[in-house]
Amino acid sequence: MGVLCMADGGLAVVAEAASVSEALEALSADPDLVVLDVNLGGVDGVEGARQVRALRPDLPVVLCSTAAPSELPPIPDDPCVTFVPKQNLDAHVLHEWFDRCRQHPG
């Protein structure tokens, strides 16, 4: 799970977290984007996305997993939360999502 900052057209990881509680603490690093694995121990990434957006409604969240979407809990109905299979997750996808959420904030 990573908390990312967009800088000069690139991505920089400003914090990493092994749990949702650590990710919420990492929000103090003022990231531009949060990437959460859906299958975390304890509180899952889907609930984590809800908590992140409740604290920072301006912050886009990308949920990812190696599991098939049909095996995952429902993704929140939030315009700035999306799911991307881990194998498709790259800098281009993150930039597109970041730009889309900045143009059309939830």
Q: What is the pLDDT of residues 38-71, one digit of tens each?
A: 988 788 999 999 999 999 998 999 999 999 888 8
Look at residue 46 in the predicted model and tell me its pLDDT: 93
55 domain-assigned: yes
pLDDT tens figures, 24-33: 998 888 888 8
Which residues lie across from 4 on neighbouring strands?
Answer: 13, 33
> Which parts of 40-90 fold into alpha helices (H)?
45-55
Q: Which domain holds residue 44?
A: 33-67
Cα separation of 65 and 76, whole Å?
Answer: 15
State the Cα–Cα distance between residues 11 and 50, nearest whole angstrom.
23
50 domain-assigned: yes
Q: What's the domain count of the chain?
A: 1
Instruction: Using CB atoms within 10 Å of the CB of residue 6, give its burial: 0 to 12 exposed, 13 to 18 middle, 19+ buried.
Output: middle
